[in-house]
Amino acid sequence: MKSFLSLTAACVLLHAMPVLADVHSYANIADYRQQRLHLDLAVDFEQSILTGFAEIEFERLSAERSALVLDTRSLVIRSVEYAKGKRWERLPFELGAADPILGRPLTIDVPARAPRQFRLRINYESRPEASGLQWLSPRQTAGGELPFLFSQSQAIHARSWVPLQDTPAVRFPFTAEVRTPPGIRAVMGAGSAEVDRESGRYTFDMPQPIPSYLLAIAAGDLEFRAIGERTGVFAEPSVLASAAHEFADTERMLEVSEQLFGPYRWGRYDLLILPPSFPFGGMENPRLSFITPTVLAGDRSLVALIAHELAHSWSGNLVTNSSWRDLWLNEGFTVFLEARIMEAVYGERRRRMEERLGYEDLIANFATLAPEMQHLAVDLTGEDPDLVFSQVPYEKGRLMLVWLDRAFGRDTMNRFLTDYFDHFAFRSIATEDFLAYVDEHLLAKYPGRVSRSELERWIFTPGLPDLAVLPSADVFTRIDDARAGFLAGSLAAESIDTADWSTQDWLYFLNNLPEQLSAAQLAELDAAFELTTAGNNEIAHSWLKMAIRNDYRPAWPRLEEYLLTIGRNKLVRPLYTELMRTEAGAEFARDVFLRAKPGYHPLTITVNERIVFPETS
C-alpha cells in the first residue's frame, strides 16, 4: 500500500500518468466494477438508522480471481449474499481496520465459479453517527412536528449509508425502494416511480449512470409545488410558498442552459429546500438539487446558487471528475457555466458583479493556503477532502476558462463546451483527458493563441499565472466612492444613497472596508443600515465578520443566534475562525459551538471542531 501511494504521488508530480488511482477509495475497480445498484431501505427515525440491503450487479474485469473490496464507513454489515439462480447463498466477508478518513474496506470472497456478471446482496444498516446523513428531530425543522433526514454524499460519504465502490471513477444506474413512517415523504436524486404517503412506500428509478457521490436521499414533511413544466420545489409546507417565489426563474434558467450547453439529459429538474443545518449552499444531486434555506432572501438576490447547481447537470453530473484531485473539472467549469446562465437571465452587470466578488474571495483564500493546495489539480493523498475544501477549484478554475474564452472568443468557446459535454457525456475523466481534448480541439485548431505549457501553469503551479484576465471592479465604482467618502469622514453613513443597492453592492461595500474600524464607525453604519438585523444571510455574514474583528458587541447576540441556527459551513466557519483570534472571542466561540453542536451536521462539526478546539483535534 505504501509504495502504491508514493507511486501515485510521484505521478502527480510528473503529471504524466493518464489514469490515476483514486486515493480516497479502497475499491479494486480494475478487478470488478459495479454495473447497477438496487437499494431497499427503511428509514428508522426511532434509532436514526437506515436498514435494509443493497443489491449490486458486478462485472469481473480481470482474469485472475481476487477478492472484491467495497468502501464502508461506520456501517453494520449483517451478511453478504451471492445470487445463485433464484437462491441467495451466503458469502464470507471481512471488515478491515477503520481509517479515520477512508472508513473500513469490506472484503468479499467471490466464488471462483462466479460468471463475468454476478449479483451480490449486502444486508446492512447505517449507524446514527453516519457521516453522510443528518437526522433531525422535529424541533430542528421548520414545521416542528415531524423528524427529517437528509444525505450529503460528496465527497466520500456515500459509503456511510451504502456499501459500494465509492469513487467518482465508476458510474451506475440505480433503483430503490424506501419505506418511511406514515406521513413522511421520501425523495431521492432520481425519478420517482411510486409515491404512497399513506403507507410510506416510495420507489425510485435513475436510468442514467451516476457516480456514487450523487446518491441522495431525504425524508420529512415535504410537499411539492411546480415552478414550470420541468421544474418544481420540494419543501416543508411553511417554506414552500417563499421557496417557489424565490426560485421562480428556475425554468428559465433550464431553458437558457440548454441553449448554451446542449440538451438537459436528466428529465426533470427539481429543488429540495433543506433545514438550515444543511452544510452546503447547494448540492447538485441529479434531478433534485439540495438547497440551503439561507438563500431565501425574499428578493432572488442569491439565486446564482441555483444557476450553479443546475450547471452541474452538465459539468459534474454528465462529465465527472474521476477523482477528487480533479474537482476543478466539476467546480471550475460549473462556476464558469453559472456565470453564463446568470448573464443570460439577469444581464451582464449582475454577472460581472458576482465574478468580481468570487475573485476577491479567491485572493483572500490564497493567503490561507499552502502553495501545493493552490494548484488546480491537487494531490490529496492522505488528506480528508472535507478539510481541504477551498475556493481554488472554483474560482481559479473559472479564471482559467475565462482566459480560454478570451483567447478563442465566445463563439468558439461555446462550441467547445457543447462538444466537450457531448464527447465525454456520462464519463468520468481526469485533468489529463481535459488537456488532451483541449490540445486537439482548441490548440491544434487555432494555433498561436495559447500554449500547452501555459495551460499546465494554470493546473500545476500555485497562485494565479500572470496570464489571468482579472475581473475588474468597474461595476462597483459608485460603491467604492461611497465607501471612500464614508472613511474620509466627508460622507455620513445616513447620507449615502443606498436606495438601489443590490445584495452584491452591499457585499462589495462591506468586504472591502478596512480590517479595523472604530466603534463609532461601526455604530454609525449599523444605525444607518440596520446591518446587525440584516435579513440577508450573506450580508449578515460579512457584517458579523467585521463585528467580531472590531469587537463590536451590539452585534454579538445576533452572532450567537446566527451560529446556533445556521449550519452552512461557508457561513459559519469564517466566523469561528475570526472569533478564535482573541481570548474573549475564543471563549464565546467554544461556548456557542458546544451549544450549537447537537444541531450541526457531522461535516460542520468535523470542520469547526478543529478550529474551536485546536488542541484536542
- Residue 187 to residue 204: CA distance in whole angstroms: 8
Euclidean distance between CA atoms 68 and 124, whole angstroms = 17
Of 354 and 432, the one with the shorter C-beta distance to ligand BES is: 354
φ, ψ of residue 264 in degrees (nearest 5): -80, 120
| Least distance to ligand BES, CB of residue 476, Å | 20
Cell of 493: 453613513
C-beta of 232 vs 332, nearer to ligand BES: 332
Which of ligand BES, Zn ion, none sits in contact with 282, Cβ below 5 to 8 A by type?
Answer: ligand BES
The catalytic position among 55, 236, 284, 309 is 309
Q: Site residues (CB under 6 A) for ligand BES? A: 154-155, 280-284, 304-305, 308-309, 312, 331, 394, 570
Residue 318 contact, options Zn ion, ligand BES, none, Cβ 5-8 Å cut-off depending on partner type: none
- Tell me which residues in 296-335 interact with Zn ion (CB under 5 A): 331, 334
Binding partner of residue 305 among ligand BES, Zn ion, none, CB under 5 to 8 Å per kind? ligand BES
Report in angstroms how near the CB of residue 312 gets to ligand BES at its nearest: 6
Report d(CA 11, CA 553) in Å as an integer. 52
Closest distance between ligand BES and the C-beta of residue 85, in Å? 41
The site partner of 432 among Zn ion, ligand BES, none (C-beta below 5 to 8 Å per kind) is none
Q: How far apart are CA 328 and CA 429, in angstroms?
A: 11
- The option from ligand BES, Zn ion, none interacting with 283 (CB < 5 to 8 A, set by class) reads ligand BES
Owner of C-alpha cell 475556493: 391
Considering the complex, what minimum distance in angstroms separates the CB of residue 569 from Zn ion?
A: 13
Q: Which one-letter amino acid corresponds to residue 104?
A: R
- CB nearer to ligand BES: pick between 306 and 525: 306
**Residue 184 contacts residue 200 (beta carbons within 8 Å):** yes
Contacts 24+ apart (CB under 8 A), 137-146: 140/275, 140/277, 140/599, 141/220, 141/221, 141/236, 141/275, 142/236, 142/238, 142/239, 142/275, 142/293, 143/221, 143/236, 143/237, 143/238, 145/221, 146/183, 146/184, 146/220, 146/221
Interaction residues for Zn ion, span 333-352 (CB under 5 A): 334
Greatest CA span in the chain, whole angstroms? 85
281 binds, among Zn ion, ligand BES, none (CB under 5 to 8 A by kind): ligand BES
Q: Which is nearer to ligand BES, 103 or 147 (CB)?
A: 103
Active-site position among 26, 394, 508, 552: 394
Query: Which residues touch 32 (CB under 8 Å, ≥6 apart)?
Result: 58, 59, 60, 61, 68, 110, 165
Residue 152 Cβ vs ligand BES, minimum distance, rounded to whole Å: 7
Nearer to ligand BES, 331 or 432 (CB): 331
Residue 32 bears catalytic tag: no
Query: Which CB, 106 or 303, lies closer to Zn ion?
Result: 303
Active site residue 309: yes
Q: Beta strands 269-273 and 49-60: pairing type?
A: unpaired
Q: Coil, strand, or helix at residue 518?
A: coil
Return residues touching Zn ion (CB under 5 A): 331, 334
Q: What amino acid positions are annotated as catalytic residues? A: 309, 394
